[in-house]
Structure 1
Amino acid sequence: MKHQEAHEICKKHMYRYVSVTMTSGVVYDGIVENVDDDHLYLAVPIGGMDQEQMRAFLPYPGFGYPYGYPGYGFPGYGYGFPRRRFARQILPLAGLLVLSLLPYY
């Protein structure tokens, strides 16, 4: 796919859920967030397992108490960190092979 053609296709599918296949064979799925002259920015959903692994290493106040220090509980101090649902993936337009729409569930 030519660079200009890839840029136009990505612009046309802005804010849509797509599957992107790179020339290396790697496949990404996510929402087209932005396109500039050289890169495609995807908002890639983080799955349940990745989220749990990510949260396992975040410190929280309370040192073992799930809702903060004793006496300071839910929803006050020590409530926890908000969940992150998407991660930004930056892909080069030069490596784009195929972009196709996916049904959004």
Structure 2
Amino acid sequence: MDYQQICWNCMNKYVGITMKDGQRFDGFIAHVDNDFVTLAIPTDEMMAGMSGDKRQFGFHPGFFPRRRFFRRRLPFFGISDLFLLPFFL
């Protein structure tokens, strides 16, 4: 299966990826190159913030925004399954 082409078609979409060793990841496809796909995986802080009404708008003195996603590079040869997931705000 050509996971590179599938990843290009799913760029910026929320996907789930299962690796051949059983690990599972879900996130937005942020980058695709010849050998790897990079996922932007939402942090627990972001997921918790979306469930309440305490969203941060703007910047305040002394406030430094935290990274809401972390990146994870995954090799194409290790992918066993890739599927689209629903993402609601």
TM, length-normalised to structure 1: 0.67
More strand by share: 2
Equivalence for 1:48? 45
Shift of 1:13: 0.5
Out of 21, 35, 39, the position equivalent to 2:36 is 39
Mapped partners of 1:97, 1:40: distance in 2: 13
- List structure 1 segments (4+ residues) > 2 angstroms apart after TM superposition: none
Number of residue equivalences: 75
- 2-side partners of 1:6 and 1:82: how far apart? 34
Report the AA paired with residue 87 of structure 1: F
1: distance between equivalents of 2:42 and 2:18?
16
**SS at the partner of 1:89?**
strand
Structure 2, unmatched stretches of 5+, are: 47-59
The alignment partner of 1:8 has SS state of helix
**Aligned alpha-carbon RMSD (Å):** 1.5
- Structure (1 or 2) with the larger CA radius of gyration: 1
Match of 1:95 in 2: 78
Q: Corresponding residue for 2:27?
A: 30
Deviation, 1:81, is 2.2
The percentage of aligned residue pairs carrying the same residue is 41
Tell me the distance in 2 between the aligned counterparts of 1:26 and 1:95.
Answer: 10
Unaligned runs of 5+ in 1: 50-74
Structure 2 length as normaliser, TM-score? 0.78
